[in-house]
């Protein structure tokens, strides 16, 4: 009922930049929050950045000052600009969206993930 299409991952050298995008589509009435999480091999999935309707934003401490999350409400799309990337940022990045469907039921969906690898 909701599809999340992620793009923008890849291989980048330390200090480089990448921009991730996630577009939500389907029977969406309202989106409460969209954000990015990441999971490195052998580790749990952790919040990277999240933007909540109304404009409130949360960042993981490890990415503050380097990553910027933004949202285009008209396109139901969230972006993650990642600058000054470090090898420890290497992970599979997942988009998450929570909201309400046109059927008046809440939803909570994950994208399939996009790989970010930071290496020289």
Query: Which DSSP string corresponds to 80-94?
Result: EEE-S--GGG-EEEE
pLDDT in tens, 63-113: 999 999 999 999 999 999 999 999 999 999 999 999 999 999 999 999 999
Residue 53: is its pLDDT beyond 90?
no
Under 8 Å between Cβ of 68 and 76: no
Query: What is the 8-class DSSP label of residue 73?
Result: G
Residue 20: is its pLDDT beyond 90?
yes
Q: What pLDDT score does 71 carry?
A: 95
Residue 28: is its pLDDT beyond 90?
yes
Q: How many helical (H) and strand (E) elements, i.e. helices and strands, does the chain have?
A: 0, 11
């Amino acid at each position: 009922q909701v599809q999340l299409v992620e793009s923008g991952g890849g291989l980048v050298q330390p200090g480089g930049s990448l921009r991730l995008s996630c577009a939500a589509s389907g029977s969406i009435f309202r989106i409460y929050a969209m954000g990015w999480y990441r999971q490195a091999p052998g580790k749990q999935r952790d919040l990277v950045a999240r933007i909540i309707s109304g404009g409130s934003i949360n960042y993981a401490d490890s990415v503050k000052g380097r990553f910027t999350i933004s949202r285009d409400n008209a396109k139901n799309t969230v972006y993650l600009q990642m600058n000054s990337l470090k090898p420890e940022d290497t992970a599979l990045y997942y988009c998450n969206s929570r909201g309400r469907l046109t059927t008046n039921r809440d939803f909570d969906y994950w994208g399939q993930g996009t790989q970010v690898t930071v290496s020289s």
